[in-house]
Amino acid sequence: MRSPSAAWLLGAAILLAASLSCSGTIQGTNRSSKGRSLIGKVDGTSHVTGKGVTVETVFSVDEFSASVLTGKLTTVFLPIVYTIVFVVGLPSNGMALWVFLFRTKKKHPAVIYMANLALADLLSVIWFPLKIAYHIHGNNWIYGEALCNVLIGFFYGNMYCSILFMTCLSVQRYWVIVNPMGHSRKKANIAIGISLAIWLLILLVTIPLYVVKQTIFIPALNITTCHDVLPEQLLVGDMFNYFLSLAIGVFLFPAFLTASAYVLMIRMLRSSAMDENSEKKRKRAIKLIVTVLAMYLICFTPSNLLLVVHYFLIKSQGQSHVYALYIVALCLSTLNSCIDPFVYYFVSHDFRDHAKNALLCRSVRTVKQMQVSLTSKKHSRKSSSYSSSSTTVKTSY
């Protein structure tokens, strides 16, 4: 955790694997086809459900969509990435939340924002085993419509929650540099109020994802998809307007605030005089800036950009050429759950200490004993230096 280079390497490796998977998917389809996105065409056939034969609205997909649903991009690559995110994100964010809630005595605004960020990551990551199983079993959802809606709601909710809390953390770090002598209790109360407002906002903006039917049965493939296939009418209408509003209001505007805060922060750090302690803080601040920029470049920007392009192409042309990239971008957006602990590491001294102790398998009692030992050594050095100086003074008279 000494630098964000690991995040860059992980992102580059995944992008390379994704490009190979995407090319394999595209080459496996008919070249004369323009590559439609996963649009469900209404197919009024009857099929047996439960206790008897009922007529339900079922859907058919084109050749490209079928190849995506059965190809290695969705059945191999996506489960691998989601497994990595789950294995790394669950313990790291769990430890972070534990440190911020129970091991950090002073609840500064930065601690409050990071605790909420870790909570958002955990609420998303805990559902990943269902998503992994869904993709491994050929994109066949067997857990019911309600759980599918919850999974999708938490998936997008985590992305936009992370963006908003990261924006708050960035603005707060700049404000600490500009106004370091503020009242911490008042700032903490404001941070709690802002955090509650963010959770309420995310709950409201994700309501459509919980209400809209996300599961669709594809008889030709004998699978039930979760969010991967949606009716064409829904895609070109409500979904386009919905995701465009999210991209502008909950991504573009916060991204502008974050970038502005870091530009002003860099200017302040350059213009201020630096002693040894300030130089360490400056280096840590630069590492934080690079880490957050890596998160935006790897996780948030591609997914939100391709999200708008994907739905715009469906609305204007009735088809999308970027669906494979769109799937990969959404997958990469979950890497923020792995990158967030780097942010905690550069911002929180308590998290750094507990992370090092956890990696070195040190218990809390051992750490306290070491701290007491170091403190006693410092006192003994001070007392010895004081006694030696007193002796020198006495002999000089």
3-state SS record for the chain: CCCCHHHHHHHHHHHHHHHHHHHHHHHCCCCCCCCCCCEEEEECCEEEECCEEEECCEEECCHHHHHHHHCHHHHHHHHHHHHHHHHHHHHHHHHHHHHHHHHCCCCCHHHHHHHHHHHHHHHHHCCHHHHHHHHHCCCCCCCCHHHHHHHHHHHHHHHHHHHHHHHHHHHHHHHHHHCCCCCHHHHHHHHHHHHHHHHHHHHHHCHHHHHCCCEEEECCCCEEEECCCEEHHHHHHHHHHHHHHHHHHHHHHHHHHHHHHHHHHHHHHHHCCCCHHHHHHHHHHHHHHHHHHHHHHHHHHHHHHHHHHHHHHHHHHCCCCCHHHHHHHHHHHCCHHHHHHHHHHHHCHHHHHHHHHHHCCCCHHHHHHHHHHHHHHHHHHHHHHHHHHHHHHHHHC
pLDDT of 308 > 60? The answer is yes
Indicate the angle between helix axes 336-347 and 145-178, nearest 10 degrees.
30
Please report the pLDDT score of residue 367 as a whole number. 47
pLDDT range class, residue 187, cuts 50, 70, 90: confident
Task: Please indicate whether residue 321 or residue 223 has the higher confidence score (pLDDT).
Answer: 223
Largest interatomic CA distance in the chain: 111
Segment 236-268, tens digit of pLDDT: 567 778 888 999 999 999 999 999 988 888 888
Lowest mean pLDDT of 127-131, 185-189, 232-236, 326-330, name the range: 232-236
Lowest mean pLDDT of 164-178, 192-206, 270-284, name the range: 270-284
Rounded distance between C-alpha atoms, residue 77 and residue 88, angstroms: 17
Please report the pLDDT score of residue 343 as a whole number. 84
Q: Which residues contact 267 (CB under 8 A, 6 or more apart)?
A: none
Answer yes or no: are the C-beta atoms of 60 and 43 closer than 8 Å.
Answer: yes
Please report the pLDDT score of residue 64 as a whole number. 79
Q: Domain limits of the chain?
A: 5-365
Segment 88-136, tens digit of pLDDT: 999 999 989 998 888 887 788 989 999 999 999 999 999 999 999 999 9
Average pLDDT, rounded, for the chain? 77
Please report the pLDDT score of residue 316 as a whole number. 78
* Class of residue 130 by CB neighbours under 10 A (exposed 0-12, middle 13-18, buried 19+): middle
Task: Please indicate whether residue 148 or residue 363 has the higher confidence score (pLDDT).
Answer: 148
The residue written with tokens 């920029």 in the block is 293
pLDDT of 29 > 50? The answer is no
* CATH 1.20.1070.10 describes domain 5-365: yes
pLDDT range class, residue 144, cuts 50, 70, 90: very high
Segment 358-389, tens digit of pLDDT: 666 655 555 455 455 545 555 555 455 545 44
pLDDT range class, residue 314, cuts 50, 70, 90: confident
The residue written with tokens 């540099």 in the block is 177
Segment 37-94, tens digit of pLDDT: 455 454 554 455 554 544 456 677 778 788 888 889 999 999 999 999 999 999 999 9
